[in-house]
A and B are shown apart, each in its own frame.
Chain A
C-alpha cells in the first residue's frame, strides 16, 4: 500500500486531498505544519509528499523540501509542491529546493489524482 503525505496548514485543503485520493488504494497521512510534516516524513517514508509552501512555524514548504532532499534516507520521496504561489520565480525556487513537481492552487482534484496514479505506476 502506497503512502502519501499531505502537508498544509489549511484543514479544508487537507480534507479535499484526502477525499480526492480515498477512492484509490493509498494510505493518506496528514501534517498541518512544516515541522510536523518533516517529522512524519522521516518516520513513515511516504512515496509521495504533497507540500504546501506558505505555512506557519519554523519551516515553510521550501525549507522542508530542501531538508528532505538533502537527507539520503528521504531523498527518493517524490515531492509535489502544492502552492498558491503560482509565479514563475516561485516555481523556480521550488525546483531549486529539489521539488519533483509543482501544482498551483486552485487545482482540479481529478488532475491531481491522475498525476499521483502516474507517479505510483
Chain B
C-alpha cells in the first residue's frame, strides 16, 4: 500500500515531468526555429553578398563616380555667382543629375527648352518659371562627338531686369544673354572635359535598370563619401543624406554590413565603393526578403501548432495522470472535513480497487467505528450514570446499615461492659465469702462447729463460682460462634422436658412445676443436651423472676411444630423490653430484678440454640401477671426419619 504522502509526491513528480517535457519541447522548437532562421539568413546573405560584389564591380568599372562628386561641387560653386538663380545638369533622358537645389536630383526636367535642346543638340535660351520664380534660362547641350549626352541649364534671376526701365531692359537682356551663354558654355565645356561624364550621368539609369530587371533586388542606393545619395531606385532619396546604420558603418571603415529591415521586408547589404584604393562611397543594396519572412512565418506557425498541440497534450496527460489520484483524495479530504465537524453519517465513495479505494473503504470503516464508539460511549455514560446512581443508593443504604451496625456494636459494647460489671459482681460476691471465711479459719481460734459451718460456706460459694465460670465460657463460645458441638438425632421433646423438671425439687424452689403434655408427640431432630439446656434456662428464668406460684411446663403441636412453653406468674416484662429479652447481655432493669443475679445470657443462649434447630421462639408477658416463653421445633417427617 502506498501512503498518501508518497502519492502526493508521485503526483508532483508526474506534474513536474510533464512541465519539463513541455519546456523541452518549446526549447527545441525555439532552437530549430532559430537554426532555420539563421540558415535562411546565411543563405540570403551569401547570395546578396555575391550579387553586391558583382554590382559593385560593375559600378566601379564605370569609374565615373568620382566625377559625380566634382560635378555637384561645380554646380554648387557656380550657383554662388551673383544673379544666378540656379544651375542644373540633365542627362539625355531629361533627368536631373545635379542641381543647385539638391533635392531636384533625379527629377525629370519638364521644361520645353530642355527637350528642345536635347532633341536638336543646340543652344536654347528663353524665359521660364522655376520654383514659382520668373527666370531667364539658358540650356547648352553636352556632346561627345555627335552624341548628345545631356544638357546644362543655367537660370538667371529676372528681378533686376524686371525692376529696370524698359529702355534699360534691352540692355540688360542683351548682357544677360551674353553672360548666360558664356556661363552655360563654360560649364558644359568643363563637364565635357570630365573623363567619365557619360557613365556619370548614366548611373541613375543603371540603378533603375538593375532594379527593374532583377526580381530579388528591391533597392539600390549609391552614396558618396559625404553620405549624399548619388543614385537610388527611389528617386526621392537622390541627393539626400543617407544616415542609416549600414552606410555609417561602411563610411567608418566596415568592409561589409548586413542587416534585415523587417518593416520593409528587405535584406540590406552595404559595401564600400573603392576606385583603386581610394574610398569613394557606399553601395547599399536591398534584397527582397519577403520569401524569407514568409518562409519564417510558415515555420513559426507550424512550430507553434506542433508546440501548442504538445502543450495541450501534456496538460491533458497531466490531468489524466493526476485526476484518478487527486480527485478521490480531494473527495476523501472533503468527507474527512465533514467528519471532523462531527457529521458521523458521511461516507466516502469507493470508485476504485486501488490504494485510494482501500483508503476510502478504511475511512468508511473508521467513520462507522467512530459512530459506533460514540454511541457506545453515550450508552456507556448513561449506564455509568445509572450505575453511579445505583451505587450511591447502595452506598447510602450500606452507610445506613453501617450506622445501624455501629449503633448495634456500640450497644453491644455497652452491654458487654455492663455484662463485665455484672459478671465482676457475680464473681466477687462468692469470692468475698471464700476469701473472708478462709482468712477467719486461718487466723482465729474457732470452735469445731464454726469451722464446719465456714468450710460449708466456702464449698457452696466455690460451686456457684464454678457455675458462673461455665456460663461465661458458654457465652465466650457463642460469641466466637465456633462449633458448639451439636449432635442432632430424632428425639421426643416431652422426654427431655420430663428429665429436666426432675432437677428441681419442690423443697428447693418452694413451688411446683406442673407439666401439661400432649400424648404421642411427633419426633423432632435435635441435640438432646442443648435442648435440655434451653428448657432448664427457661425454667431457671421462670423461677428467678417469679417469687411464688406454680410453674407450668407445656408440650404441644402447633403449625407443624412441636412446642415447649414455660409459664410463670411472676413480675412480668414491660412491652418495651420484650423485643430485647433474647439479646445477649440484656437484663431487665427494674428494682424488682436488681437483687437477682444473672449474666443476661440465659435467653441469648436459648435463642442461639433454637435458631440452630430451625426453630421458632414465642414470648407472651404482662407486668405483674407473669411470662410465658416457648419454642417450637419442626416436626420430623417420615422421609427425614428414613434418611
* Partner-B contacts on A (CB < 8 A): 9-10, 12-13, 16, 19-20, 23, 54-58, 60, 84-87, 104-110
Contacts and interface: CB of A to CB of B under 8 A. Distances in A.
Given A105-B431, A105-B432, A110 B439 contact: yes
Given A19-B440, A106-B434, A108-B439, A84 B429 contact: yes
Top 10 A-B pairs, shortest CB-CB distance: A56-B595, A84-B428, A106-B432, A106-B435, A84-B425, A16-B436, A105-B432, A106-B431, A105-B428, A12-B433
A9 B596 CA distance: 11
Contacts of B9: none
Nearest to A57: B591
B421 interface: yes
A61 B439 CA distance: 26
B435 A13 contact: no
A36 to B, nearest CB: 13
Query: Which secondary structure dominates chain A's binding surface?
Result: loop
Contacts of B440: 16, 19-20, 109
Contacts of A104: 428
Contacts of B591: 56-58
B174 interface: no
A107 B432 contact: yes
A105 B594 contact: no
Contacts of A57: 591, 594-595
Contacts of B439: 108-110
A56 B592 CA distance: 6
Interface in B589-628: 591-592, 594-596
A105 B427 CA distance: 10
A85 B421 contact: yes
B594 A108 contact: no
15 contacts: A10-B433, A12-B457, A16-B432, A16-B440, A19-B444, A20-B440, A56-B591, A57-B591, A87-B421, A105-B432, A106-B435, A106-B436, A107-B435, A107-B436, A109-B439
Given A84-B425, A85-B421, A13 B595 contact: no
A54 B594 CA distance: 7
Contacts, number: 74
A73 to B, nearest CB: 26
Of the candidates A19, A57, A60, A105, the one having the most CB atoms from chain B within 10 angstroms of its own CB is A105
A16 B437 contact: yes
Interface of B: 421, 424-425, 427-429, 431-437, 439-440, 443-444, 450, 457, 461, 591-592, 594-596
A57 B596 CA distance: 11
Nearest to A84: B428
A110 B438 CA distance: 12
B358 to A, nearest CB: 87
A54 B435 contact: no
A104 B421 CA distance: 13
B594 A56 contact: yes
Given A20-B440, A56-B594, A84-B425, 4 more contacts: A10-B429, A16-B437, A56-B591, A105-B431
B472 to A, nearest CB: 16
Contacts of A9: 595
A83 to B, nearest CB: 8
A25 to B, nearest CB: 17
Nearest to A22: B444
B594 A60 contact: yes
A91 B436 CA distance: 22
B589 to A, nearest CB: 12
Contacts of A13: 429, 432-433, 436
B594 A85 contact: no
A109 B454 CA distance: 14
Contacts of B433: 10, 12-13, 16
A71 B591 CA distance: 24
Contacts of B436: 13, 16, 20, 106-109
A85 B50 CA distance: 159
Contacts of A19: 440, 444, 450
A110 B131 CA distance: 189
A112 to B, nearest CB: 9
Of the candidates A55, A104, A107, the one having the most CB atoms from chain B within 10 angstroms of its own CB is A107
Contacts of B424: 84-87
A44 B188 CA distance: 208
Contacts of B421: 85, 87
Contact of A110 (B425, B443, B592, B594): B443
Of the candidates B434, B437, B596, the one having the most CB atoms from chain A within 10 angstroms of its own CB is B437
Contacts of B461: 12
